[in-house]
A and B are shown apart, each in its own frame.
Chain A
Protein backbone atom coordinates (compact mmCIF):
# COMPACT_ATOMS: atom_id res chain seq x y z
CA UNK A 1 0.00 0.00 0.00
CA UNK A 2 1.22 3.49 -0.90
CA UNK A 3 2.53 5.56 2.00
CA UNK A 4 0.75 8.85 2.61
CA UNK A 5 0.52 11.63 5.18
CA UNK A 6 -2.70 12.98 6.61
CA UNK A 7 -4.13 15.74 8.78
CA UNK A 8 -6.73 14.67 11.30
CA UNK A 9 -9.06 16.09 13.90
CA UNK A 10 -9.06 14.21 17.21
CA UNK A 11 -11.81 14.44 19.81
CA UNK A 12 -10.40 12.93 22.96
CA UNK A 13 -12.01 12.35 26.36
CA UNK A 14 -10.11 14.32 29.01
CA UNK A 15 -10.71 13.67 32.69
CA UNK A 16 -8.28 14.82 35.42
CA UNK A 17 -9.10 12.06 37.88
CA UNK A 18 -11.85 9.66 38.95
CA UNK A 19 -13.81 12.45 40.66
CA UNK A 20 -13.62 14.89 37.71
CA UNK A 21 -16.67 15.13 35.44
CA UNK A 22 -14.59 15.01 32.25
CA UNK A 23 -15.19 16.45 28.78
CA UNK A 24 -14.16 16.10 25.15
CA UNK A 25 -11.22 18.17 23.87
CA UNK A 26 -10.62 18.70 20.15
CA UNK A 27 -7.07 18.56 18.77
CA UNK A 28 -5.84 19.00 15.20
CA UNK A 29 -2.94 16.66 14.35
CA UNK A 30 -0.84 17.26 11.24
CA UNK A 31 1.44 15.18 9.02
CA UNK A 32 0.50 11.79 10.41
CA UNK A 33 2.11 8.95 8.47
CA UNK A 34 -0.09 6.09 7.26
CA UNK A 35 2.64 3.75 8.58
CA UNK A 36 2.19 4.88 12.19
CA UNK A 37 0.24 2.88 14.71
CA UNK A 38 -2.69 4.56 16.45
CA UNK A 39 -0.69 4.86 19.68
CA UNK A 40 2.27 6.41 17.84
CA UNK A 41 -0.15 8.99 16.49
CA UNK A 42 -1.24 9.72 20.10
CA UNK A 43 2.48 9.91 21.05
CA UNK A 44 2.95 12.60 18.37
CA UNK A 45 -0.04 14.51 19.73
CA UNK A 46 1.32 14.20 23.28
CA UNK A 47 4.74 15.57 22.20
CA UNK A 48 2.89 18.49 20.69
CA UNK A 49 0.87 19.02 23.90
CA UNK A 50 4.02 18.88 26.07
CA UNK A 51 5.72 21.49 23.85
CA UNK A 52 2.67 23.72 24.26
CA UNK A 53 2.97 23.30 28.02
CA UNK A 54 -0.27 21.31 28.26
CA UNK A 55 -1.02 18.06 30.08
CA UNK A 56 -0.43 15.05 27.79
CA UNK A 57 -3.23 12.51 27.28
CA UNK A 58 -2.96 9.57 29.70
CA UNK A 59 -3.54 6.16 28.08
CA UNK A 60 -2.72 2.54 28.85
CA UNK A 61 -0.16 0.65 26.76
CA UNK A 62 2.63 -1.82 27.30
CA UNK A 63 3.84 -4.33 24.70
CA UNK A 64 2.51 -2.51 21.61
CA UNK A 65 2.46 -5.81 19.76
CA UNK A 66 -1.10 -6.89 20.45
CA UNK A 67 -0.56 -9.44 23.21
CA UNK A 68 -0.54 -7.68 26.59
CA UNK A 69 -4.13 -6.40 26.66
CA UNK A 70 -3.26 -3.00 28.09
CA UNK A 71 -4.38 -0.64 25.31
CA UNK A 72 -8.04 0.17 25.69
CA UNK A 73 -9.43 2.89 23.46
CA UNK A 74 -13.01 3.09 22.22
CA UNK A 75 -12.49 4.61 18.78
CA UNK A 76 -15.38 6.01 16.71
CA UNK A 77 -17.95 3.81 18.41
CA UNK A 78 -15.96 0.56 18.53
CA UNK A 79 -13.48 -0.86 21.05
CA UNK A 80 -9.96 -1.07 19.52
CA UNK A 81 -11.10 0.76 16.38
CA UNK A 82 -12.48 -0.40 13.03
CA UNK A 83 -10.37 -3.49 12.28
CA UNK A 84 -11.39 -7.07 13.10
CA UNK A 85 -9.35 -9.16 15.58
CA UNK A 86 -7.15 -6.21 16.40
CA UNK A 87 -5.90 -4.21 19.38
CA UNK A 88 -5.56 -0.41 19.44
CA UNK A 89 -1.76 -0.66 19.32
CA UNK A 90 -1.97 -2.77 16.16
CA UNK A 91 -4.44 -0.41 14.50
CA UNK A 92 -2.48 1.51 11.88
CA UNK A 93 -3.20 4.94 10.54
CA UNK A 94 -3.75 3.57 7.02
CA UNK A 95 -7.22 2.82 8.35
CA UNK A 96 -7.88 6.58 8.04
CA UNK A 97 -7.94 9.21 5.33
CA UNK A 98 -6.82 12.84 5.27
CA UNK A 99 -9.41 15.08 6.94
CA UNK A 100 -11.01 12.35 9.09
CA UNK A 101 -12.36 13.12 12.54
CA UNK A 102 -11.65 10.45 15.17
CA UNK A 103 -13.47 10.31 18.50
CA UNK A 104 -11.59 8.50 21.28
CA UNK A 105 -13.29 7.47 24.52
CA UNK A 106 -12.27 5.30 27.46
CA UNK A 107 -14.00 1.93 28.16
CA UNK A 108 -17.33 2.70 29.79
CA UNK A 109 -18.59 0.45 32.62
CA UNK A 110 -19.16 1.03 36.33
CA UNK A 111 -16.80 -1.88 36.99
CA UNK A 112 -14.04 -0.08 35.00
CA UNK A 113 -13.87 3.39 36.60
CA UNK A 114 -11.86 6.01 34.71
CA UNK A 115 -8.53 6.73 36.42
CA UNK A 116 -7.49 9.54 34.10
CA UNK A 117 -8.32 10.52 30.50
CA UNK A 118 -8.39 7.24 28.54
CA UNK A 119 -7.11 5.03 31.37
CA UNK A 120 -9.56 2.83 33.26
CA UNK A 121 -9.04 0.66 36.32
CA UNK A 122 -9.45 -2.97 35.21
CA UNK A 123 -8.41 -4.57 38.49
CA UNK A 124 -11.93 -6.06 38.64
CA UNK A 125 -10.62 -8.62 36.11
CA UNK A 126 -7.65 -9.41 38.37
CA UNK A 127 -9.99 -10.05 41.29
CA UNK A 128 -12.12 -12.39 39.15
CA UNK A 129 -8.96 -14.36 38.26
CA UNK A 130 -7.97 -14.43 41.93
CA UNK A 131 -11.37 -15.95 42.74
CA UNK A 132 -10.60 -19.12 40.78
CA UNK A 133 -8.89 -18.58 37.43
CA UNK A 134 -5.93 -20.79 38.25
CA UNK A 135 -5.02 -24.37 39.12
CA UNK A 136 -3.59 -25.19 42.52
CA UNK A 137 -0.20 -26.93 42.49
CA UNK A 138 0.73 -27.36 46.11
CA UNK A 139 4.20 -28.86 45.84
CA UNK A 140 7.11 -29.11 43.47
CA UNK A 141 7.59 -27.61 40.05
CA UNK A 142 5.00 -27.29 37.33
CA UNK A 143 4.96 -30.59 35.43
CA UNK A 144 6.14 -30.79 31.85
CA UNK A 145 3.48 -29.57 29.44
CA UNK A 146 3.37 -32.83 27.51
CA UNK A 147 3.35 -35.16 30.53
CA UNK A 148 -0.46 -35.47 30.35
CA UNK A 149 -1.77 -36.52 26.94
CA UNK A 150 -4.67 -34.35 25.77
CA UNK A 151 -6.65 -34.91 22.60
CA UNK A 152 -5.96 -32.39 19.86
CA UNK A 153 -9.47 -30.86 19.59
CA UNK A 154 -9.65 -30.22 23.33
CA UNK A 155 -6.16 -28.76 23.41
CA UNK A 156 -7.03 -26.49 20.48
CA UNK A 157 -10.26 -25.25 22.08
CA UNK A 158 -8.47 -24.67 25.38
CA UNK A 159 -5.72 -22.77 23.60
CA UNK A 160 -8.22 -20.65 21.66
CA UNK A 161 -9.91 -19.69 24.96
CA UNK A 162 -6.56 -19.08 26.64
CA UNK A 163 -5.72 -16.56 23.93
CA UNK A 164 -7.84 -14.02 25.89
CA UNK A 165 -5.59 -11.10 26.85
CA UNK A 166 -8.05 -9.62 29.36
CA UNK A 167 -8.22 -6.24 27.62
CA UNK A 168 -11.87 -5.67 28.52
CA UNK A 169 -13.13 -4.87 25.00
CA UNK A 170 -15.95 -7.40 25.54
CA UNK A 171 -17.20 -5.40 28.54
CA UNK A 172 -16.76 -2.11 26.68
CA UNK A 173 -18.80 -3.38 23.71
CA UNK A 174 -21.58 -5.10 25.67
CA UNK A 175 -24.78 -3.13 26.17
CA UNK A 176 -24.98 -4.71 29.65
CA UNK A 177 -21.27 -4.21 30.47
CA UNK A 178 -21.16 -7.97 30.97
CA UNK A 179 -17.84 -9.74 31.55
CA UNK A 180 -19.20 -13.15 30.50
CA UNK A 181 -16.90 -13.56 27.47
CA UNK A 182 -13.83 -12.91 29.65
CA UNK A 183 -15.01 -15.22 32.45
CA UNK A 184 -16.23 -17.77 29.88
CA UNK A 185 -12.79 -17.85 28.26
CA UNK A 186 -10.98 -18.18 31.59
CA UNK A 187 -13.28 -20.92 32.89
CA UNK A 188 -13.22 -22.75 29.53
CA UNK A 189 -9.49 -22.97 29.01
CA UNK A 190 -9.08 -24.66 32.38
CA UNK A 191 -12.29 -26.75 32.30
CA UNK A 192 -11.25 -28.28 28.97
CA UNK A 193 -7.96 -29.57 30.37
CA UNK A 194 -7.40 -32.42 32.84
CA UNK A 195 -5.27 -30.13 35.04
CA UNK A 196 -8.25 -27.82 35.54
CA UNK A 197 -10.74 -30.58 36.30
CA UNK A 198 -10.42 -31.03 40.10
CA UNK A 199 -11.36 -27.39 40.76
CA UNK A 200 -13.81 -26.87 37.91
CA UNK A 201 -16.94 -26.58 40.09
CA UNK A 202 -15.62 -24.14 42.67
CA UNK A 203 -13.91 -22.19 39.90
CA UNK A 204 -17.10 -21.54 37.92
CA UNK A 205 -19.11 -20.68 41.04
CA UNK A 206 -16.49 -18.40 42.62
CA UNK A 207 -15.56 -16.55 39.43
CA UNK A 208 -19.22 -15.82 38.61
CA UNK A 209 -19.83 -14.68 42.21
CA UNK A 210 -16.85 -12.29 41.99
CA UNK A 211 -18.02 -11.07 38.56
CA UNK A 212 -21.44 -10.19 40.01
CA UNK A 213 -19.81 -8.51 43.00
CA UNK A 214 -17.73 -6.27 40.73
CA UNK A 215 -20.91 -4.87 39.15
CA UNK A 216 -20.75 -6.34 35.64
CA UNK A 217 -24.13 -6.92 33.95
CA UNK A 218 -25.73 -10.22 32.90
CA UNK A 219 -25.22 -11.73 29.44
CA UNK A 220 -28.01 -11.40 26.85
CA UNK A 221 -26.10 -13.15 24.03
CA UNK A 222 -26.09 -10.17 21.65
CA UNK A 223 -22.68 -11.21 20.29
CA UNK A 224 -21.13 -7.70 20.39
CA UNK A 225 -18.29 -9.04 22.61
CA UNK A 226 -17.26 -11.70 20.12
CA UNK A 227 -17.38 -9.16 17.27
CA UNK A 228 -14.86 -6.82 18.91
CA UNK A 229 -12.61 -9.37 20.65
CA UNK A 230 -9.03 -8.82 19.41
CA UNK A 231 -8.34 -12.52 19.93
CA UNK A 232 -11.54 -13.81 18.35
CA UNK A 233 -12.71 -15.56 21.54
CA UNK A 234 -15.87 -17.45 20.60
CA UNK A 235 -19.21 -16.78 22.30
CA UNK A 236 -19.40 -20.58 22.59
CA UNK A 237 -17.29 -20.11 25.73
CA UNK A 238 -20.22 -18.27 27.34
CA UNK A 239 -22.50 -21.26 26.72
CA UNK A 240 -19.81 -23.47 28.27
CA UNK A 241 -19.59 -21.19 31.32
CA UNK A 242 -23.39 -21.31 31.72
CA UNK A 243 -23.22 -25.11 31.57
CA UNK A 244 -20.26 -25.35 33.98
CA UNK A 245 -21.93 -22.98 36.43
CA UNK A 246 -25.24 -24.79 36.56
CA UNK A 247 -23.62 -28.25 36.72
CA UNK A 248 -21.52 -26.99 39.63
CA UNK A 249 -24.51 -25.34 41.32
CA UNK A 250 -26.61 -28.48 41.08
CA UNK A 251 -23.96 -31.03 42.02
CA UNK A 252 -21.62 -29.36 44.57
CA UNK A 253 -21.77 -31.13 47.96
CA UNK A 254 -21.92 -27.96 50.04
Chain B
Protein backbone atom coordinates (compact mmCIF):
# COMPACT_ATOMS: atom_id res chain seq x y z
CA UNK B 1 0.00 0.00 0.00
CA UNK B 2 1.25 3.48 -0.88
CA UNK B 3 1.76 5.98 1.95
CA UNK B 4 -0.66 8.36 0.25
CA UNK B 5 -3.34 5.66 0.20
CA UNK B 6 -2.75 4.91 3.88
CA UNK B 7 -3.61 8.43 4.96
CA UNK B 8 -6.34 9.20 2.41
CA UNK B 9 -8.51 6.14 3.09
CA UNK B 10 -11.47 6.65 5.44
CA UNK B 11 -9.62 4.87 8.25
CA UNK B 12 -6.40 6.83 7.56
CA UNK B 13 -8.25 10.16 7.64
CA UNK B 14 -9.72 9.21 10.98
CA UNK B 15 -6.26 8.27 12.23
CA UNK B 16 -5.13 11.81 11.43
CA UNK B 17 -8.14 13.17 13.36
CA UNK B 18 -7.30 10.92 16.31
CA UNK B 19 -3.58 11.74 16.36
CA UNK B 20 -4.08 15.50 16.06
CA UNK B 21 -6.91 15.26 18.60
CA UNK B 22 -4.66 13.62 21.19
CA UNK B 23 -1.92 16.17 20.39
CA UNK B 24 -4.44 18.96 21.09
CA UNK B 25 -5.49 17.24 24.33
CA UNK B 26 -1.83 17.33 25.40
CA UNK B 27 -1.68 21.02 24.49
CA UNK B 28 -4.75 21.66 26.67
CA UNK B 29 -2.90 20.20 29.67
CA UNK B 30 -0.03 22.66 29.12
CA UNK B 31 -2.41 25.56 28.50
CA UNK B 32 -4.64 24.96 31.51
CA UNK B 33 -1.62 24.33 33.74
CA UNK B 34 0.15 27.54 32.77
CA UNK B 35 -3.01 29.63 32.96
CA UNK B 36 -3.81 28.23 36.40
CA UNK B 37 -0.88 30.42 37.58
CA UNK B 38 -3.43 33.25 37.77
CA UNK B 39 -4.83 31.48 40.84
CA UNK B 40 -1.50 32.02 42.66
CA UNK B 41 -3.05 35.26 44.04
CA UNK B 42 0.19 37.19 43.58
CA UNK B 43 -1.13 39.90 41.29
CA UNK B 44 -0.10 37.93 38.22
CA UNK B 45 3.65 37.71 38.89
CA UNK B 46 3.88 33.95 38.41
CA UNK B 47 1.54 34.01 35.41
CA UNK B 48 3.45 36.80 33.65
CA UNK B 49 6.74 34.97 34.22
CA UNK B 50 5.26 31.74 32.81
CA UNK B 51 3.83 33.60 29.81
CA UNK B 52 7.21 35.25 29.27
CA UNK B 53 8.93 31.87 29.21
CA UNK B 54 6.43 30.51 26.67
CA UNK B 55 6.89 33.57 24.47
CA UNK B 56 10.67 33.89 24.64
CA UNK B 57 12.13 30.38 24.91
CA UNK B 58 12.96 28.62 21.66
CA UNK B 59 11.41 25.26 22.60
CA UNK B 60 7.82 26.43 23.15
CA UNK B 61 8.11 28.76 20.15
CA UNK B 62 9.01 25.82 17.88
CA UNK B 63 6.27 23.70 19.46
CA UNK B 64 3.89 26.58 18.77
CA UNK B 65 4.41 26.11 15.02
CA UNK B 66 3.54 22.43 15.45
CA UNK B 67 0.48 23.43 17.45
CA UNK B 68 -0.86 25.71 14.72
CA UNK B 69 -0.18 23.03 12.11
CA UNK B 70 -1.97 20.44 14.28
CA UNK B 71 -5.01 22.65 14.84
CA UNK B 72 -5.23 23.50 11.14
CA UNK B 73 -4.97 19.85 10.09
CA UNK B 74 -7.60 18.84 12.67
CA UNK B 75 -10.01 21.55 11.45
CA UNK B 76 -9.53 21.03 7.70
CA UNK B 77 -9.65 17.23 7.94
CA UNK B 78 -12.65 17.44 10.27
CA UNK B 79 -14.62 19.62 7.88
CA UNK B 80 -13.69 17.47 4.91
CA UNK B 81 -14.83 14.30 6.74
CA UNK B 82 -18.03 15.98 7.90
CA UNK B 83 -18.91 16.94 4.31
CA UNK B 84 -18.10 13.54 2.79
CA UNK B 85 -19.93 11.71 5.61
CA UNK B 86 -23.02 13.85 5.11
CA UNK B 87 -22.87 13.22 1.36
CA UNK B 88 -22.92 9.44 1.92
CA UNK B 89 -26.70 9.61 2.45
CA UNK B 90 -28.32 11.84 -0.15
CA UNK B 91 -31.89 10.91 0.81
CA UNK B 92 -32.51 10.99 4.53
CA UNK B 93 -35.18 9.42 6.74
CA UNK B 94 -38.66 10.85 7.34
CA UNK B 95 -38.22 9.91 11.00
CA UNK B 96 -34.61 10.47 12.12
CA UNK B 97 -33.12 8.11 14.69
CA UNK B 98 -32.27 10.96 17.03
CA UNK B 99 -30.95 9.85 20.42
CA UNK B 100 -31.93 6.20 19.99
CA UNK B 101 -28.50 4.60 20.28
CA UNK B 102 -26.14 7.58 20.25
CA UNK B 103 -25.51 10.77 22.21
CA UNK B 104 -26.32 14.13 20.59
CA UNK B 105 -22.80 15.44 21.12
CA UNK B 106 -21.24 12.40 19.43
CA UNK B 107 -23.29 13.24 16.33
CA UNK B 108 -22.51 16.97 16.57
CA UNK B 109 -18.70 16.97 16.48
CA UNK B 110 -18.70 19.04 13.28
CA UNK B 111 -20.95 21.67 14.82
CA UNK B 112 -19.11 21.73 18.16
CA UNK B 113 -15.79 21.88 16.32
CA UNK B 114 -17.00 24.81 14.23
CA UNK B 115 -18.11 26.65 17.38
CA UNK B 116 -14.67 25.98 18.87
CA UNK B 117 -13.07 27.32 15.69
CA UNK B 118 -15.07 30.56 16.00
CA UNK B 119 -14.08 30.74 19.67
CA UNK B 120 -10.44 30.25 18.73
CA UNK B 121 -10.54 33.14 16.24
CA UNK B 122 -11.81 35.42 19.02
CA UNK B 123 -9.42 33.96 21.61
CA UNK B 124 -6.33 34.35 19.37
CA UNK B 125 -7.34 37.94 18.58
CA UNK B 126 -7.71 38.66 22.33
CA UNK B 127 -4.41 37.25 23.58
CA UNK B 128 -2.07 35.69 21.03
CA UNK B 129 -2.06 38.64 18.60
CA UNK B 130 -1.22 41.31 21.23
CA UNK B 131 1.39 39.17 23.03
CA UNK B 132 3.21 38.03 19.87
CA UNK B 133 2.55 40.76 17.29
CA UNK B 134 1.01 44.07 18.32
CA UNK B 135 2.65 44.23 21.77
CA UNK B 136 1.51 44.58 25.38
CA UNK B 137 2.04 47.09 28.18
CA UNK B 138 5.19 46.37 30.21
CA UNK B 139 5.14 45.59 33.94
CA UNK B 140 8.09 45.57 36.34
CA UNK B 141 8.74 42.32 38.26
CA UNK B 142 11.91 42.24 40.46
CA UNK B 143 13.28 45.18 38.48
CA UNK B 144 12.90 43.36 35.13
CA UNK B 145 10.42 44.29 32.42
CA UNK B 146 7.76 41.70 31.46
CA UNK B 147 4.73 41.77 29.13
CA UNK B 148 1.68 42.37 31.31
CA UNK B 149 -0.51 39.56 29.87
CA UNK B 150 -2.20 39.26 33.26
CA UNK B 151 -3.25 42.90 33.04
CA UNK B 152 -4.61 42.24 29.57
CA UNK B 153 -6.76 39.39 30.98
CA UNK B 154 -8.06 41.53 33.84
CA UNK B 155 -8.87 44.35 31.45
CA UNK B 156 -10.77 42.01 29.12
CA UNK B 157 -12.82 40.14 31.71
CA UNK B 158 -13.51 42.73 34.43
CA UNK B 159 -16.89 44.32 33.84
CA UNK B 160 -17.28 42.75 30.41
CA UNK B 161 -20.15 40.32 30.86
CA UNK B 162 -20.63 39.54 27.15
CA UNK B 163 -17.01 38.40 26.70
CA UNK B 164 -17.19 36.31 29.90
CA UNK B 165 -20.38 34.61 28.63
CA UNK B 166 -18.75 33.89 25.25
CA UNK B 167 -15.74 32.34 26.99
CA UNK B 168 -17.92 30.19 29.23
CA UNK B 169 -19.94 29.04 26.20
CA UNK B 170 -16.65 28.19 24.50
CA UNK B 171 -15.79 26.02 27.51
CA UNK B 172 -19.13 24.20 27.20
CA UNK B 173 -18.45 23.50 23.52
CA UNK B 174 -14.98 22.23 24.48
CA UNK B 175 -16.41 19.98 27.22
CA UNK B 176 -18.87 18.27 24.87
CA UNK B 177 -16.34 18.05 22.05
CA UNK B 178 -13.89 16.33 24.44
CA UNK B 179 -16.54 14.12 26.02
CA UNK B 180 -16.90 12.35 22.69
CA UNK B 181 -13.54 13.15 21.12
CA UNK B 182 -11.23 11.92 23.88
CA UNK B 183 -12.48 8.33 23.92
CA UNK B 184 -13.27 8.34 20.20
CA UNK B 185 -9.64 9.19 19.39
CA UNK B 186 -8.46 6.13 21.30
CA UNK B 187 -11.02 3.93 19.53
CA UNK B 188 -9.98 5.31 16.15
CA UNK B 189 -6.32 4.60 16.88
CA UNK B 190 -7.33 1.07 17.84
CA UNK B 191 -6.01 1.56 21.36
CA UNK B 192 -9.09 0.36 23.22
CA UNK B 193 -10.06 -3.14 24.17
CA UNK B 194 -12.29 -4.37 26.96
CA UNK B 195 -9.44 -4.05 29.44
CA UNK B 196 -8.58 -0.41 28.65
CA UNK B 197 -12.05 0.82 27.74
CA UNK B 198 -13.09 1.75 31.29
CA UNK B 199 -9.78 3.55 31.82
CA UNK B 200 -10.05 5.52 28.57
CA UNK B 201 -13.71 6.41 29.09
CA UNK B 202 -13.16 7.34 32.75
CA UNK B 203 -10.08 9.46 32.07
CA UNK B 204 -11.89 11.04 29.11
CA UNK B 205 -14.96 12.02 31.12
CA UNK B 206 -12.84 13.38 33.98
CA UNK B 207 -10.63 15.37 31.60
CA UNK B 208 -13.62 16.69 29.63
CA UNK B 209 -15.22 18.10 32.76
CA UNK B 210 -12.17 19.23 34.76
CA UNK B 211 -10.21 21.08 32.07
CA UNK B 212 -13.10 23.19 30.69
CA UNK B 213 -14.23 23.86 34.26
CA UNK B 214 -10.81 25.27 35.25
CA UNK B 215 -10.74 27.29 32.00
CA UNK B 216 -14.24 28.67 32.66
CA UNK B 217 -13.27 29.66 36.22
CA UNK B 218 -10.62 32.05 34.85
CA UNK B 219 -12.89 34.67 33.23
CA UNK B 220 -15.54 34.07 35.92
CA UNK B 221 -13.07 34.67 38.78
CA UNK B 222 -11.81 37.87 37.19
CA UNK B 223 -15.32 39.12 36.46
CA UNK B 224 -16.52 38.36 39.98
CA UNK B 225 -13.41 39.99 41.45
CA UNK B 226 -12.23 36.81 43.24
CA UNK B 227 -8.79 37.45 41.80
CA UNK B 228 -7.45 40.93 41.21
Number of interface residues of B (CB under 8 A): 46
Determine the chain B residues whose CB is within 8 A of the CB of A235 once the complex forms: 187
Contact with B along A1-33 (1 / 0, CB 8 A): 000000000010000000000001000000000
Stretch at the interface among B83-91, B121-129, B148-156, B171-179: B83-91
Residue of B nearest to A201 (CB): B1
Take A212-B10, A227-B102 as given contacts and tell me if A205 and B1 are in contact as well, using a CB distance cutoff of 8 Å: yes
Residues of A within 8 A of B49 (CB): none
Q: Which of B81-114 contact A (CB under 8 A)?
A: 81, 84-98, 100-103, 106-107, 109
**Cross-chain contact of A173 among B11, B101, B186 (Cβ < 8 A):** B101
CA distance A235 to B102 in the complex (A): 12
Taking A76-B95, A205-B1, A217-B84 as contacts, is the C-beta distance between A239 and B89 under 8 angstroms? Answer: no
Q: Which residues of chain B in 158-206 are interfacial with respect to chain A, using CB atoms and an 8 Å cutoff?
A: 180, 183-184, 186-194, 197
Answer yes or no: A50 CB below 8 A from chain B CBs.
no
Asked if residues A218 and B81 are in contact (CB atoms below 8 Å), the reply is: yes
Q: How far is the CA of A211 from the CA of B103 in the complex (A)?
A: 25
Report A-chain residues with C-beta under 8 Å of the C-beta of B103.
222-223
For A249, the chain B residues whose CB sits under 8 A away are 1, 6, 12
Chain A residues near B95 (CB, 8 Å)?
76-77, 103, 105
B223 at the binding interface (Cβ < 8 Å): no
Interchain CB contact under 8 A, A108 and B97: no
Chain A: minimal CB distance from B120 (Å): 21
Q: Are A248 and B94 in contact (CB under 8 A)?
A: no
Contact across chains for B100 and A217 when beta carbons are under 8 A apart = no
Residues in B whose Cβ lies below 8 Å from that of A161: none
Decide yes or no whether B57 CB sits under 8 A from chain A: no
B188 and A221: CB pair below 8 A? yes
Map CB proximity to B onto A96-136 as digits: 1 under 8 Å, 0 otherwise: 00000001010011110000000000000000000000000
- Whether A77 touches B10, Cβ cut-off 8 Å, given contacts A176-B88, A205-B1, A236-B192, is no
Q: What 1/0 flags go to A196-229 for Cβ under 8 Å of B?
A: 0000000001001101100111111111101110
- What is the total number of residues of chain A having a CB less than 8 Å from a CB of chain B? 51
B9 on the interface (CB 8 Å rule)? yes
Q: Are B88 and A240 in contact (CB under 8 A)?
A: no
Contacts of B100 in A (CB 8 A): 77-78, 224, 227-228
CA distance A243 to B189 in the complex (A): 6
Measured CA separation A227–B101 after assembly (Å): 5
- The reply to whether A24 and B88 form a contact with Cβ atoms under 8 Å apart is no
Do A220 and B88 form a contact, CB below 8 Å, given A103-B94, A205-B1, A239-B187?
A: no
State the Cβ distance, B81 to closest chain A Cβ, in Å: 6
Q: Which residues of A contact B92 (CB under 8 A)?
A: 108
Q: A220-B184, A223-B102, A245-B11 are in contact. Are A110 and B97 (CB under 8 A)?
A: no
The chain A residue with its CB closest to the CB of B189 is A242
Chain B minimum-CB-distance residue to A111:
B88
Nearest Cβ on chain B to A15's Cβ, whole angstroms: 10
Residues of B64-96 contacting chain A, CB below 8 A: 81, 84-96
Known: A219-B188, A223-B101, A238-B187. 17 other contacts (CB 8 A): A76-B95, A78-B100, A105-B94, A208-B11, A221-B188, A222-B101, A224-B101, A235-B187, A236-B194, A236-B197, A239-B193, A242-B188, A243-B191, A245-B190, A246-B6, A246-B15, A249-B6
A contacts, CB < 8 Å to B:
11, 24, 74, 76-78, 103, 105, 108-111, 173, 175-178, 205, 208-209, 211-212, 215-224, 226-228, 235-236, 238-246, 248-250, 252, 254
